[in-house]
């Protein structure tokens, strides 16, 4: 796709000169109005509706608006919105003194992902709060931090999925420079940065893009209103806008991977899907820079085309979130079968998830009321990201309860083991590792009273399937946000210290054990016992053998183990050292696994280091 645009979108600084580019294909005239000093710079129409000008009078930090046929508007490609989504844009110099020249992003197979919401991770609510905790995260064993969206949103409290300025880093978090400092600091520690981005909709407040051109279309509807225009008239400017945004994160911020939110909600019937364009954009940039970048999709369609290569007309994403593993795991652990959990059969579906990734592979889904899903055959395990909890699954509960509130410490350790011994890429949600008791609510800080009322109403309606009586926390109330901020003093208390010690050792096992570190889907065989609510993983790889026993039931279960080999415990979730009260006992070719615990056995004739 050649739009004829040769300069970056928005205002960028190069060699003491500002280059100004905006897409407004239906405009009659376009002016860039700068402040202090005040000036009106007239832009000239270029090919395909792009407008362009240069100026030597614009400096970093200067405020400005675009005037489109007399209407004063912030820049849709603004790099900074210091006065919020309704204020003027500000010029940012993205040149940065990087120190990560020797950094090399690890492979997906080596990712141990830690999901973070910048605003609630620390008491400072900004990027510096993450930088201060990097030594802690490295000691925990984290190799990649996934940051929830940072594109400028209304106010200072938001999950980030209401962003309206895709190029502007949230000002209250520290802006563009703060994010660059965070990435550079992470790379010094050998930690990758994954950034959550939203290309399926624009937020409802401060959304001025449609006044520039047909960024949105009535052709489709999404849960958030009009769809982004990827395949209707004038779509080329929108596609160019998104691909330029991808380039910016990788090129100017050295982001290692993008997590693309809810790609199943992207509507695009173009011959080349926007995800394929994003893939090609990423590949071209990697060819120029030599840096490795990943694309990770959130997708609930169970369609392996999202992971298949471009040569097969796939979308060529490097990985996708696997919600179905989470749903099956939670039901196995005792989650009430309501809402989207209703059709998951716990142990049986968890066994299928281990072997086939997707639980629904073409059978009838009562929740969707259709035959749903496809096979994931041929897709390697590291291309699926799994978890026992994440921001969605916690925050979309009415009371924002983490696993630490819903499950016993025994079950928390068992679920963590289930994630870490999978052939997939594991993800933790911030605070999970010390069993944080803090809730994680949904919160916003909109300024439009009608929108605030609509959000409150929507949250109440959302929980009709999940909950009975009870008050939904007010998303607009600052207390809802404050109550969601992590309490770092928790981890120093005895019970939380034991859980943290457990996670540190479990992650170390995943990283150091030759089988678990290199585990392939095809080397796993799974047996489930519905009556015992138990699961057995048989793993054989390079002549090395492991057996993983999971007992989700409320009583001790006995498992027969082969008499042909001598087995030794290498992991026990019930060990006293991390708070377990009932370790597994091996006796007479039987493993006596206590309630809500798990154990990993290895053949003593093939000791695995």
Catalytic residues: 261, 298
Residues 404 and 451: their CA atoms lie apart, in Å, by 33
**Mutual orientation of helices 274-289 and 235-253 as an angle, nearest 10°?**
30
Delineate the domains of the chain, giving CATH numbers in brackets. 10-90 (2.60.40.10), 108-449+480-508 (3.20.20.80), 524-606 (2.60.40.1180)
Residues 6+ apart with CB under 8 A from 19: 7, 8, 11, 12, 13, 52, 54
259 annotated to bind ligand: yes
Token pair listed for 456? 């409150």
393 annotated to bind ligand: yes
Token pair listed for 483? 């109550």
Residues 180 and 174: their CA atoms lie apart, in Å, by 10
Tokens 């294909």 map to which residue? 25
392 annotated to bind ligand: yes
Residues 228 and 238: their CA atoms lie apart, in Å, by 8
260 annotated to bind ligand: yes
Query: Residue 468: its pLDDT value, please?
Result: 52
* Low pLDDT (below 50) residues in the chain: 607-609
261 annotated to bind ligand: yes
Compute the half-sphere exposure of residue 531: CA atoms within 13 Å on the CB side of its CA. 3
CB 108 within 8 A of CB 318: yes
pLDDT per position as a tens digit, 78-118: 999 999 999 999 999 999 999 999 999 999 999 999 999 99
Burial of 452 (0-12, 13-18, 19+ CB in 10 A): middle
Tokens 């439009």 map to which residue? 448
Query: Residue 470: its pLDDT value, please?
Result: 72
Task: Provide DSSP, 100-132.
Answer: -TT--PPPGGG--EEEE-HHHHSTT-SHHHHHT
Query: Residue 608: its pLDDT value, please?
Result: 44
Give the rounded distance of the alpha carbon of 81 from its chain centre: 24
100 annotated to bind ligand: no
Query: Residue 465: its pLDDT value, please?
Result: 56
CB 567 within 8 A of CB 599: no
Residue 361: count of CB within 10 angstroms of its CB: 16
391 annotated to bind ligand: yes
466 annotated to bind ligand: no
Give the rounded distance of the alpha carbon of 525 from its chain centre: 29
Residue 273: count of CB within 10 angstroms of its CB: 20
Residues 6+ apart with CB under 8 A from 369: none
Residues 261 and 202: their CA atoms lie apart, in Å, by 12
252 annotated to bind ligand: no
CB 254 within 8 A of CB 183: yes
Residues 6+ apart with CB under 8 A from 191: 134, 137, 138, 142, 143, 144, 145
487 annotated to bind ligand: no
306 annotated to bind ligand: no
Helices then strands, each counted (H, E), the chain: 15, 31
Query: Residue 373: its pLDDT value, please?
Result: 95
């Amino acid at each position: 796709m050649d739009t004829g645009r040769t300069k970056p979108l928005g205002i960028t600084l190069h060699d003491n000169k500002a280059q100004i580019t905006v897409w407004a294909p239906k405009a009659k005239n376009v002016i860039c109005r700068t402040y202090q000093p005040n000036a009106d710079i007239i832009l000239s129409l270029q090919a395909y509706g792009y407008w362009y000008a240069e100026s030597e009078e614009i400096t970093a930090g200067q405020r400005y608006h675009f005037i489109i046929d007399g209407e004063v508007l912030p820049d849709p490609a603004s790099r900074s919105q210091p006065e919020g989504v309704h204020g003027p844009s500000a010029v940012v110099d993205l040149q940065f003194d990087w120190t990560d020249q020797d950094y090399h992003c690890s492979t997906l197979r080596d990712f141990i992902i830690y999901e973070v919401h910048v605003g609630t991770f620390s008491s400072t609510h900004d990027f510096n709060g993450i930088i201060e905790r990097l030594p802690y995260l490295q000691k925990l064993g984290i190799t990649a931090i996934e940051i929830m969206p940072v594109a400028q949103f209304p106010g200072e409290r938001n999950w980030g999925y209401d962003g309206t300025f895709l190029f502007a880093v949230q000002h209250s978090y520290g802006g563009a420079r703060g994010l660059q400092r965070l990435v550079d600091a992470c790379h010094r520690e050998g930690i990758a940065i994954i950034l959550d981005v939203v290309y399926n909709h624009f937020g409802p407040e401060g959304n001025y893009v449609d006044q520039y051109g047909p960024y949105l279309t009535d052709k489709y509807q999404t849960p958030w209103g009009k769809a982004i225009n990827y395949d209707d008239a004038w779509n080329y400017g929108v596609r160019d806008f998104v691909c330029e945004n991808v380039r910016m994160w990788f090129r100017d911020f050295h982001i290692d991977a993008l997590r693309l939110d809810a790609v199943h909600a992207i509507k695009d019937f173009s011959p080349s899907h926007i995800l394929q364009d994003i893939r090609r954009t990423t590949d071209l940039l990697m060819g120029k820079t030599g840096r490795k970048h990943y694309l990770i999709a959130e997708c609930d369609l169970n369609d392996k085309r999202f992971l298949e290569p471009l040569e097969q007309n796939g979308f060529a994403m490097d990985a996708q979130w696997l919600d179905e593993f989470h749903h099956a795991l939670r039901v196995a652990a005792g989650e009430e079968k309501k809402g989207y959990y209703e059709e998951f059969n716990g142990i049986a579906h968890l066994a299928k998830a281990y072997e086939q990734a997707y639980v629904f592979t073409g059978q009838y889904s009562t929740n969707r009321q259709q035959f749903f899903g496809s096979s994931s055959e041929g897709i390697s395990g590291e291309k699926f990201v799994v978890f026992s909890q994440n921001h969605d699954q916690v925050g979309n509960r009415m009371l924002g309860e983490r696993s630490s509130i819903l499950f016993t410490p025994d079950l928390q350790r068992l679920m963590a083991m289930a994630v870490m011994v999978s052939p997939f890429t594991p993800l933790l949600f911030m605070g999970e590792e010390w069993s944080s008791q803090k809730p994680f609510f949904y919160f916003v800080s909109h300024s439009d009273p009608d929108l605030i009322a609509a959000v409150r109403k929507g949250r109440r309606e959302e929980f009709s399937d999940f909950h009975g009586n009870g008050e939904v926390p007010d998303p607009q109330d600052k207390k809802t946000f404050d109550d969601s901020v992590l309490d770092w003093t928790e981890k120093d208390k005895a019970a939380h210290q034991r859980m943290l010690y457990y996670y540190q050792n479990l992650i170390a096992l995943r990283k150091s054990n030759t089988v678990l570190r290199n585990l392939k889907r095809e080397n796993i065989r799974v047996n489930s016992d519905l009556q015992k609510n138990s699961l057995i993983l048989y793993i054989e790889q390079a002549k090395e053998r492991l057996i993983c026993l999971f007992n989700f039931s409320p009583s001790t279960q006995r498992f027969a183990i082969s008499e042909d080999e001598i087995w030794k415990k290498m992991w026990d979730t019930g060990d006293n050292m991390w708070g377990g009260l009932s370790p597994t006992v091996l006796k007479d070719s039987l493993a006596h696994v206590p309630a809500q615990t798990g154990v990993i056995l290895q053949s003593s004739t093939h000791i695995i280091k």
